[in-house]
Amino acid sequence: MGKAMILAGIAEEYLPPAKPFEPVRWNVVAGALQGLYPPNVRANCPNCGKSADTESQKGTADQMVFSHCTGQREYCPPDVSREYQRRWQEWRKEFQPKLLAKEQREREMQATRAVAYLPTRGR
């Protein structure tokens, strides 16, 4: 019905204004448990709504490739990469030794709890 009215000249077609394209937002966020884990690189696309987080124990989260808007691929910007590397080095100096020590203590506790069961022969 609307097209017939437009063709008859009674009405005009209304097209909503095009939504401006916004760039992907990249940022570095603190790791889980108040920094006990390394910082994350986060990417968020305001156009399609997709977001992604990447964490690395090796300091390589800034090498992530973010795919969004039906196939567009983007890489972490240099300024975000520098910020991530700075924060990761700080985390490595402060928290990584604590995390490794905690994991070692947990392994030792599990080892002391382990009981070796020897097979017995039937009578």
User: Is 121 within a domain?
Assistant: no
User: Is 116 within a domain?
Assistant: no
Average pLDDT over residues 8-16: 82
Q: Is the pLDDT of residue 123 over 80?
A: no
User: Number of folded domains in the chain?
Assistant: 1
User: Is 75 within a domain?
Assistant: yes
User: Is 89 within a domain?
Assistant: yes
Q: Which helix (H) or strand (E) holds 28?
A: strand 25-29
Q: Is the pLDDT of residue 77 over 90?
A: yes
User: Is 123 within a domain?
Assistant: no
Question: Distance between CA 3 and CA 99 in Å, rounded?
Answer: 66
User: Is 79 within a domain?
Assistant: yes
User: Is 91 within a domain?
Assistant: yes
User: Is 4 within a domain?
Assistant: no
Q: Is the pLDDT of residue 74 over 60?
A: yes
pTM exceeds 0.75, yes or no: no
Tell me: the pLDDT tens digits for 31-50? 877 667 889 999 999 988 99
Share of the chain above pLDDT 90, in %: 27
The boundaries of the domain holding residue 57 are: 18-111
Q: Is the pLDDT of residue 113 over 90?
A: no
Any idea how long the chain is? 123
pLDDT of residue 30: 87
